[in-house]
């Protein structure tokens, strides 16, 4: 055999072996079983039972706002950035298949029902489950998010390796202000009025609104009625006053979820009017910091106890 051809074959085999080894390492140790990885939340939800667990779903507002230890020791935070209703519905279907009776907490906000396949789906969260989980694979295909190489072990993580590594390194090396607790990711830095003011100035120019389609309304109600033994707790977690003021029809959102609570016996709705939460409790105009999350979560616990949820 020509030495050059032999060298190319050996190089090709080496590269393939390296890619497959990296795929195995990331799949087995870094994407699914590492608690700080978003994909770990999918793995935990789809592969583990946790009979007494009280799941919390929602966007980064949930991930950064619900401090489980201050709510209930059985809580686990499944929130992650840009989790729209479409994504939450996917996750709820996994949860509702379990033989459980624990309540489900869902954080909602004005754009909860708005969905964009590219904005609301972070592929890194789902790639470890392509080919092995039919529901996730179908969801990504329906949203046109998969390319041919995403189905191929050794190639699917291309471009996402650092996405998986960054939170692991930050957590291990104690870099930055992030605190990882029971699925939640909290900013330990005290709120700065000056930096918040800059964000306020930028936010006040925005014009936002709450919208829901008849299809989303129907799907949500089907999920609620499909599991009458599970209580659905919809919560509007603290809005900074500046963020709330940019939502033109904020009251329509409250009216919609109040209506669900009135019409379905297994639904409760809790709205925290936190206009007086000081800037020191916020990371920015959308998210609480650690101190704000602990205060809100303690108040939420009181509300849930009054409702005899637990």
> Do strands 184-187 and 178-181 pair parallel, antiparallel, or not at all (unpaired)?
antiparallel
> Do strands 178-181 and 54-57 pair parallel, antiparallel, or not at all (unpaired)?
unpaired
> Per the structure block, which two tokens stand in for 219?
């799907």
* Predicted TM-score (pTM) of this structure: 0.94
Q: Is the pLDDT of residue 196 over 80?
A: no
Question: What is the model's pLDDT at position 184?
Answer: 96
Q: Is the pLDDT of residue 191 over 90?
A: no
Specify whether the CB–CB gap between 237 and 65 falls below 8 A: yes
DSSP 247: B
Of 65-74, 229-238, 301-310, which gets the smallest average pLDDT? 301-310
- pLDDT tens by residue, 130-163: 989 999 999 999 999 999 999 999 999 999 999 9
Q: Is 242 helix (H, G, I), strand (E, B) or coil?
A: helix
Domains contained in the chain, CATH given: 3-306 (3.40.50.1110)
Of residues 285, 208, 307, the one with CA closest to residue 253: 208
Q: Is the pLDDT of residue 221 over 90?
A: yes
Q: Is the pLDDT of residue 286 over 80?
A: yes
How far apart CA 17 and CA 175 sit, in angstroms, is 33
- pLDDT tens by residue, 234-283: 999 998 888 888 999 999 999 999 999 999 999 999 998 887 788 889 99
How far apart CA 19 and CA 30 sit, in angstroms, is 15
- pLDDT tens by residue, 207-216: 889 999 999 9
Of 39-48, 82-91, 182-191, which gets the smallest average pLDDT? 182-191
Question: What is the model's pLDDT at position 300?
Answer: 97
Compute the half-sphere exposure of residue 70: CA atoms within 13 Å on the CB side of its CA: 18
Specify whether the CB–CB gap between 201 and 266 falls below 8 A: no
Helix axes 214-226, 250-263, angle to 10 degrees: 30
Higher model confidence: residue 175 or residue 49?
A: 49
How far apart CA 62 and CA 93 sit, in angstroms, is 19
Specify whether the CB–CB gap between 291 and 299 falls below 8 A: no
What is the pLDDT averaged over residues 78-93? Answer: 97
How far apart CA 29 and CA 22 sit, in angstroms, is 10
Of 24-28, 70-74, 190-194, 287-291, which gets the smallest average pLDDT? 190-194
């Amino acid at each position: 055999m020509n030495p050059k051809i032999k060298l190319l074959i050996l190089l090709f085999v080496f590269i393939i072996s390296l890619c497959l080894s990296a795929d195995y390492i990331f799949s087995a140790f870094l994407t699914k079983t590492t608690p700080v990885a978003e994909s770990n939340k999918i793995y935990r939800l789809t592969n583990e039972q946790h009979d007494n667990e009280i799941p919390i779903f929602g966007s980064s507002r949930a991930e950064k706002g619900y401090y489980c230890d201050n709510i209930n020791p059985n809580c686990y935070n499944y929130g992650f950035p840009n989790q729209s209703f479409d994504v939450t519905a996917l996750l709820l279907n996994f949860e509702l298949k379990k033989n459980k009776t624990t309540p489900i907490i869902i954080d909602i906000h004005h754009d909860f029902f708005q969905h964009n396949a590219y904005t609301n789906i972070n592929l890194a969260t789902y790639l470890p489950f392509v080919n092995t989980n039919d529901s996730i694979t179908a969801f990504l295909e329906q949203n046109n998010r998969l390319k041919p190489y995403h189905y191929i072990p050794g190639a699917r993580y291309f471009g996402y390796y650092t996405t998986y590594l960054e939170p692991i390194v930050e957590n291990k090396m104690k870099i930055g202000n992030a605190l990882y607790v029971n699925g939640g990711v909290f900013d330990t830095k005290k709120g700065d009025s000056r930096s918040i003011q800059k964000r306020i100035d930028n936010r006040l120019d925005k014009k936002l609104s709450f919208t829901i389609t008849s299809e989303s309304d129907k799907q949500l109600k089907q999920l609620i009625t499909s599991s009458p033994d599970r209580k659905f707790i919809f919560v509007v977690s603290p809005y900074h006053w500046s963020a709330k003021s940019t939502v033109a029809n904020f009251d329509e959102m409250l009216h919609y979820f109040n209506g669900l609570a009135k019409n379905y016996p297994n639904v409760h709705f809790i709205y925290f009017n936190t206009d007086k939460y000081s800037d020191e409790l916020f990371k920015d105009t959308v998210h609480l910091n650690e101190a704000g999350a602990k205060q809100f979560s303690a108040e939420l616990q009181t509300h849930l106890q009054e409702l005899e949820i637990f």
